């Protein structure tokens, strides 16, 4: 019998609701009256998503970031939010204050108004966030064109290293440890960059399920081949990986929760996008191009290696 | 130190977000583009909300009913929904199918399209539902007028009896046991009645936190006194209560989770509302009237007894 991983469970739900599209985009979109409403919900569960060394304020903020990141990938401004919180009966007032602080911080940062929600008892802490915005047109995951360039909004690989440090022990030089842990507890979604440059994207997708998952999904949905000729990492990650004999490829492509995004664009937009990236302090990296065919391949010394979807699964 | 009950926790959140209005209405309302969007989120948690004898399909349906009931009270049609589900890693495929079945059933019943959601691992089953609709104007909790009549959409008291039967043992005659248990596992929100009659309501509120809580909230928000001269129960409940020496008042006023609603209306609308109620098979009951002053009072043999807010608390 097939293992019940998340994609399998999602399939059961999708089949049940008779909708092919449920879950095939970063955000949900629906018409109410004269507007296209964009909505996204995300859940943070104590036992699976919150390392014990993570502050509850950071966890609360991150539960909003997870949704904001999907809005960022689509270049849509989230305006309103609803927050549902489950709390164990034994929780202290100071922990609750910490949680509120984290939500408030995120709302200020991304200019979101909380309009409601609910609080419940439960065996563990659960944050469920639902954000709303409007848009005229949605950049999809599927419209990359042959000849398009592939970009990411920042370097990858830190979250996987940072999570190991939070769960196990810190290793590596101080600056690197700090950077890696920060990538887990204070992720920065690229909202202003996404909003500003959306018009140039032929396709885009939030990368938080892992870069290999994201690239494979975009390639599959657009029925194009993606060639990656520059793996998006920086020297400090390479040094760390060499020193501790880790697998660089795995950290970069299969880490997940980076809250960066991938976009494709026509080469004619390269200059303007790069200029906008500097203005919004977003360190975008060009990592490859779109061509005809299928699958995602990493190009190295003129050899192509298939990049499998091996990103993060919730189950 | 004050006990952390739900209203206390909500207060901490409200103070945190600097919004007096968060949580003061049945549903959330916000403007996006040219429309007033109505949204409501509700969470069902295995350890606190799902009796072990309740089927997961009924629990899933009920998590949608809980939101629909708030839309019913406001006379707004919910159109779209998002569902977030937390599932323990050990859950079986047949249990997941049961859950999907319950969600599907509710969506068909109330004509709701599920547009997305997410699935997560967790220590216990959690269903978080978020529904959306649009409206031009919202009936609030606060606009009852002196001289208005007070109605409920059905008799109260069965859920409290039914829950005891589900948790402990069944007692009473077969028909009553069936009715009481059904009130817990298959609640019927009064959506079509609400939509049809909304225009006659001066104020309205979903009663699922308990009738005493609902009446007190509506009285407080409207700065009017509510006189209850007919306690909304039927003979079968009275018989059951007498036989087992239970407290009728407590069952009717403080049970909660009835998914009925309370509304106030001008006496001139009585006839048309009563006619509409027959058409939609909703057994509304006139329970009292609004007058000047404050507080909620039960009138019996010309004596007035203060009805305290003693409804159901989540914590």
ipTM of the predicted structure? 0.85
> Best interface-test mutation with A: which of B91, B111, B120, B123 has the largest number of A CBs within 10 A?
B120
| Closest B-chain CA to A16 | B100
Q: Which helix (H) or strand (E) holds B306?
A: strand B303-306
pLDDT tens, position by position, A55-82: 999 999 999 999 999 999 999 999 999 9
Between chains, do A117 and B13 touch, taking CB under 8 Å as contact? yes
In chain A the domains, ranked by start, together with CATH numbers, are: 13-135 (3.30.1330.10), 149-306 (3.90.650.10)
Note the Cα B214 to chain centre separation in Å: 9
Q: Please state the rounded mean pLDDT for residues B47-52.
A: 90
- Residue of B19, B43, B46 with shortest CB distance to A84: B43
Residues tagged in the binding site annotation of A for ATP: 117-118, 141, 208
What is residue A235's predicted lDDT score, i.e. its pLDDT?
96
What is residue B1's predicted lDDT score, i.e. its pLDDT?
44
Tell me the shortest Cα–Cα distance from A268 to chain B, in angstroms.
33
Listing DSSP states for chain A in one string gives: -----HHHHHHHHHHHHT-SSTTSSSSEEEEETTEEEEEEEEEEEHHHH--TTS-HHHHHHHHHHHHHHHHHHHT----EEEEEEEE-TT--HHHHHHHHHHHHHHHHHHT-EEEEEEEEE-SS-EEEEEEEEEESS---SS---TT-EEEESS--SHHHHHHHHHHS---S-HHHHHHHHHHHHS----HHHHHHHGGGEEEEEE-TT-HHHHHHHHHHHHT-EEEE-S----HHHHHHHHHTT--HHHHHHH------EEEEE-GGGHHHHHHHHHHTT---EEEEEEESSSSEEEEETTEEEE---------
Between chains, do A30 and B113 touch, taking CB under 8 Å as contact? yes
Between chains, do B35 and A33 touch, taking CB under 8 Å as contact? yes
Question: What mean pLDDT value characterizes chain A?
Answer: 90
> Best interface-test mutation with B: which of A32, A83, A129 has the largest number of B CBs within 10 A?
A32
Confidence of residue B107 (pLDDT cuts 50, 70, 90): very high
- Residue of A23, A43, A89 with shortest CB distance to B86: A43
Look at A183 and A26; give whichever has higher pLDDT.
A183
**What does the alpha-carbon distance between residue A197 and residue A41 come to, in Å, rounded to a whole number?**
24
Start-end of H helices in chain B: 6-17, 46-49, 56-74, 93-110, 158-167, 174-185, 191-197, 211-222, 235-243, 248-254, 270-279
What is residue B313's predicted lDDT score, i.e. its pLDDT?
55
Q: Is the pLDDT of residue B14 over 60?
A: yes
Between chains, do A19 and B96 touch, taking CB under 8 Å as contact? no
Between chains, do A100 and B28 touch, taking CB under 8 Å as contact? no
What is residue A24's predicted lDDT score, i.e. its pLDDT?
65
How much of chain B is helix, strand and coil, in % rounded to 5? 40, 25, 35
Residues tagged in the binding site annotation of B for Mg(2+): 26, 41-42, 70, 118, 206, 209
Tell me the shortest Cα–Cα distance from B52 to chain A, in angstroms.
15
Between chains, do A119 and B315 touch, taking CB under 8 Å as contact? yes
Between chains, do B48 and A122 touch, taking CB under 8 Å as contact? yes
Question: What mean pLDDT value characterizes chain B?
Answer: 90
What is residue B13's predicted lDDT score, i.e. its pLDDT?
77
> Best interface-test mutation with A: which of B21, B31, B83, B118 has the largest number of A CBs within 10 A?
B118
Cβ B109 vs Cβ B165: under 8 Å: no
pLDDT tens, position by position, B129-176: 999 999 888 899 999 999 999 999 999 999 999 988 888 776 778 899
Tell me the shortest Cα–Cα distance from B312 to chain A, in angstroms.
12
Q: Is the pLDDT of residue A21 over 50?
A: no
Collect all residues of chain B within an 8 Å Cβ-Cβ radius of residue A34: 33-35
């Amino acid at each position: 019998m097939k293992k019940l991983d998340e994609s399998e469970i999602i399939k059961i739900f999708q089949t049940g609701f008779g909708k092919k599209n449920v879950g095939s985009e970063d955000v949900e979109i629906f018409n109410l009256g004269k507007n296209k409403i964009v909505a996204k919900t995300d859940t943070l569960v104590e036992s699976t998503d919150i390392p014990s060394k993570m502050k509850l304020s950071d966890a609360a903020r991150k539960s909003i970031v997870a949704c904001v990141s999907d809005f960022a990938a689509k270049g849509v401004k989230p305006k309103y939010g609803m927050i549902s919180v489950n709390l164990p009966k034994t929780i202290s007032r100071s922990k609750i204050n910490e949680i509120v602080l984290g939500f408030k911080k995120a709302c200020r940062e991304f200019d979101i108004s909380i309009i409601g929600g609910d609080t419940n008892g439960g065996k563990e802490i659960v944050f469920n966030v639902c954000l709303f915005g409007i848009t005229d047109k949605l950049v999809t995951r599927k419209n990359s064109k042959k000849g398009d360039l592939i970009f990411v909004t920042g370097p990858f690989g830190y979250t996987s290293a940072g999570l190991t440090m939070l769960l196990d022990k810190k290793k590596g030089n101080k600056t690197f440890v700090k950077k890696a842990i920060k990538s887990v507890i204070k992720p920065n979604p690229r909202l202003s960059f996404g909003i500003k440059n959306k018009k140039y994207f032929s396709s885009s997708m939030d990368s938080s399920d892992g870069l290999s998952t994201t690239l494979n999904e975009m390639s599959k949905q657009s029925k194009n081949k993606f060639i990656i000729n520059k793996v998006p990492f920086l020297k400090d990650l390479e040094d760390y990986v060499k020193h501790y004999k880790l697998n660089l490829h795995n950290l970069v492509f299969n880490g997940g929760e980076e809250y960066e995004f991938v976009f494709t664009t026509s080469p004619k937009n390269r200059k303007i996008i790069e200029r906008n990236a500097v203005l919004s302090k977003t360190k975008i990296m060009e990592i490859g191009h779109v061509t005809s065919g299928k699958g995602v391949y990493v190009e190295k010394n003129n050899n192509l290696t298939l990049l499998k979807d091996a990103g993060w699964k919730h189950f």
